[in-house]
Amino acid sequence: MIRSASLPCGVQPSCITCKTPGFRSTASPSFLGASRNAAATTTPASSRSSTISPHTLTSADNVRLNLWLSLLQASVAQFAAATTYTAATATEAALRLQRLSQPRPLNFPPGPPGDQTLALLSDPLSFLSSTTKQYGQLVGLTLGGEHVVLVTGREAARVVLLDQAGSVYVKEGTAFFPGSSLAGNGLLVSDGALWQRQRRLSNPAFRRTAVEAYSGAMVAATRNMLDMQWGSGGSRDVYADFNELTLRVTLKALFGFGAGEQQSPSISPSSPTAHIAPSPSSSTSSEEAQQIVAAVEKAFMFFTQRAATGFVIPEWFPTWDNLEFAAAVQQLDRVVYGMIKRRREELAAVHGSIEAAAVAATSAAAASALPSDLLTSLLLSRDEDGSGMSDQALRDELMTLLVAGQETSAILLGWAAALLAAHPEVQERAAAEVTEVCGRDAPPTATSVRHMPHLESVVLETLRLYSPAYMVGRCARVDAALGPYSLPSGTTVLVSPYVMHRDAAVWANPDAFLPERWRELQDREGYQGYMSLMSNLGPNGAYLPFGGGPRNCIGTGFAMMEAMLVLGAVLQRCRLTLPLSEPQSRPGPVRGAAEATSGLPASFPKAKPLLTLRPESVVLRITPR
């Protein structure tokens, strides 16, 4: 199974074997944003093998003992779960095994012979582009024994993501994508009635006005980064900084932790989140905030490692790393469930009952007195029959939003900064626009960024060239016809925004960074803003950085606003350039078909496609303006 060999899909999973033993939920979440560019380090072997003498327990020993006990507990829990195969899961696994042993289906799309797992893993972007070039926009592949169809054409993508979404193409059963107990059965992976209800309940929290409430936190966090980390200029890995920034913003949006302020490091000084010393909201103790950050940090490191090593070992298998991860998830669960409980109690105390608080949330005046974070919005959201989310559903959605929204946004910012550095004229035009609209000192706002078409086009074009979610996955739940071909039930279908966004039949000069290509659309009468470009697979049917159809990204508005606010605030203060040490005038080494023709200098960051299309690092020189 290739799932155990990490396909680089940015999104949607639901691998059947992932969701079997050891998982708290029965679904298998994908990790749109679970891995980070953090310098992942594991516990040194020496410290792992320390022995404990019960007679001489120091406080360090106590900590270690607690860790061991917690690991033991996690291990027992995982083994217990591992043995509770449900009949349904066993049947699914049997069906999959049966499929694996079958020859290539009749009338399957043409494609390269043999199993292409290694070719795909060794250079995913080139593999996707070259197979499309050779076999067309519907390619039949064998990956890890699975029959897979790669879709890179507009018509077929529309069928899969829009026209037959839910009826034929679902998430459940999609091969490859790693599952995890971290995000449980949240929006990314659930299907059917459960997904519909959760999406209905979550939608209000992502309406424009609701999202704009986070704009202040986004700008405050950026200004804090500029003051504390970028103030003195010099060279920095801005991708690492953006990872920290988006984690801070996401935690603020989810739980109300302070986003702007930077206090003394509260976690390990070398950790990527060391500067996130969250200030508590009314109902969040600073200890809880730190516990969450520490657990999230550990979980993200885990995913970086798993993604890099190919998800060879399933999450439920009791390796040291898996046990540490399970302990981190348990810690996270303790804190998050604690916060949910307390928030329920506080809201009930203020409003008389949770139901009264939910009613208050529907009136603009009363709602302004409620805590403005996603925890509160989701907790008070009500279905038509008046029911809300259970604690477990709430927890799963909060964790899903964390993993889906943090890294993807950092990746977008990282690539945008790199592209701006590589195209100084575009950067100067966008910077001039920010100054024109906001002046030199006033920070950008949710309203002012709507008057920055140049900046907007930079973000749109970055998402075209470097879509963080460069593949999305579905599973044909019944026998299906796609174009002239037949897909047996259970076939995994991978739609690749990366290839579609660089299709020369649709995009002029497809590999070049040309933000001005968006200006014509923006200048059209009645242009409704960037959100209008994201519906129905984009204006030309081949633009889907946030997916498309009913399962499109719920955080589109959040991510777009965050990108524009952060980039606007950065350009107002700083000039970004690629490092001088590299020979910028010479063409760089060939790094994949698309990059070779795009005219980017050798010092331009390399892509590192794993679960998401992230840059290896984005080292830039920062000069104050």
Binding site for ligand HEM (CB under 6 A): 11-12, 32, 187-188, 199, 400-401, 404-405, 408-409, 412, 468-469, 472, 545-547, 551-555, 558-559
Cβ–Cβ under 8 Å, residues 277 and 266: yes
Residue closer to ligand HEM by CB (options 245, 327) is 245
* Beta carbon of residue 170, minimum distance to ligand HEM (angstroms, whole number): 10
Residue 301 parent element (H or E): helix 286-309
Provide the minimum distance between the beta carbon of 248 and ligand HEM in the complex, in angstroms, as a whole number.
13
- How far is 383 from 392, CA to CA, in rounded Å? 17
* Token duo for residue 282: 């009314």
Measured from the CB atom, is 327 or 459 closer to ligand HEM? 459
Tokens of 83: 């043995």
What is the helix (H) or strand (E) element at residue 18, kind and residue range? Answer: none
Nearer to ligand HEM, 119 or 194 (CB): 194
Nearest to ligand HEM by Cβ — which residue?
555
> What span, in angstroms and rounded, lies between the C-alpha atoms of 264 and 277?
7
Query: Per the structure block, which two tokens stand in for 600?
Result: 């980017």
For strands 492-495 and 146-151, give the pairing: parallel
Task: Please check whether residue 351 is in contact with residue 358, taking contact to mean a CB–CB distance below 8 angstroms.
Answer: no
* Residues contacting 72, CB < 8 A, separation 6+: none
> Residue 356 Cβ, how far from ligand HEM at the closest point, in Å?
28
CA distance 412 to 606: 14
Whole-number minimum distance, CB 461 to ligand HEM, in Å? 13
Token readout for 478 is 């019944």
Q: Which of 13, 408, 48 is nearest to 173 (CA)?
A: 13
For ligand HEM, give the closer residue by CB, 32 or 323. 32
Contacts of 7 (CB under 8 A, 6+ apart): 120, 121, 143, 176, 177, 471
Radius of gyration of the chain (CA): 24
- Mark out the alpha helices in 423-527 (DSSP H runs): 424-438, 453-465, 497-500, 519-523
Contact criterion met (CB below 8 Å) for 377 and 205: yes
**Count of alpha carbons within 13 angstroms of residue 526, beta-carbon side:** 0
Nearest distance, CB of residue 33 and ligand HEM, angstroms: 7
Report the residue number, 37 or 266, with the smaller CB distance to ligand HEM. Answer: 37
By CB atoms closer than 10 A (0-12, 13-18, 19+), residue 394 is buried
CA distance readout (Å), 436 to 421, 441, 460: 21, 11, 21
Q: Tell me the β-bridge partners of 615.
A: 607
Q: Which is nearer to ligand HEM, 351 or 395 (CB)?
A: 395
- CA pair distance 271, 100, nearest whole angstrom: 42
**172 or 324, CB closer to ligand HEM?**
172
Structure tokens, 303: 């995913």
Confirm whether residue 553 is marked as ligand binding: yes
Of 12 and 243, the one with the shorter C-beta distance to ligand HEM is: 12
Q: Which is nearer to ligand HEM, 108 or 546 (CB)?
A: 546
Alpha-carbon separation of residue 289 from 24, 336, 502 (angstroms): 23, 10, 42
Comparing CB distances to ligand HEM, the nearer of 121 and 500 is 500
Minimum gap (Å) between residue 190 Cβ and ligand HEM: 8
Task: To the nearest 10°, report the CA torsion of 239, 242, 243, 247.
Answer: 180
DSSP 299-362: HHHHHHHHHHHTS-S-TTS--HHHHHHHHHHHHHHHHHHHHHHHHHHHHHHHHSSHHHHHHHTT
CB of residue 408 to ligand HEM, shortest distance in Å? 3
Are residues 144 and 115 in contact, defined by beta-carbon separation less than 8 angstroms? Answer: yes
| Cα three-residue angle 63-65-69, rounded to 5 degrees | 120
CB 368 to ligand HEM: min, Å: 22
Nearest residue to 328 (alpha-carbon basis) of 180, 190, 178: 180
Q: Minimum Å distance from CB 58 to ligand HEM?
A: 43
Query: Is 71 or 533 the residue whose CB approaches ligand HEM more closely?
Result: 533
- 151 in Cβ contact with 494 (< 8 Å): yes
Nearest to 75 by CA among 400, 324, 424: 324
The two tokens of residue 266 are 């509260």
Q: Nearer to ligand HEM by C-beta: 12 or 78?
A: 12
Nearest approach, Cβ of residue 391 and ligand HEM (Å): 18
- Round to whole Å and give the CA distance between 343 and 282: 9
Q: Pick between residue 22 and residue 414 the one whose CB is nearest to ligand HEM.
A: 414
Nearest approach, Cβ of 164 to ligand HEM (angstroms)? 14
Distance from C-alpha of 537 to C-alpha of 221, rounded to nearest angstrom: 32
Q: How far is the CB of 205 from ligand HEM (least distance, A)?
A: 9
Binding residues: 553
Residues within the annotated binding site for heme? 553
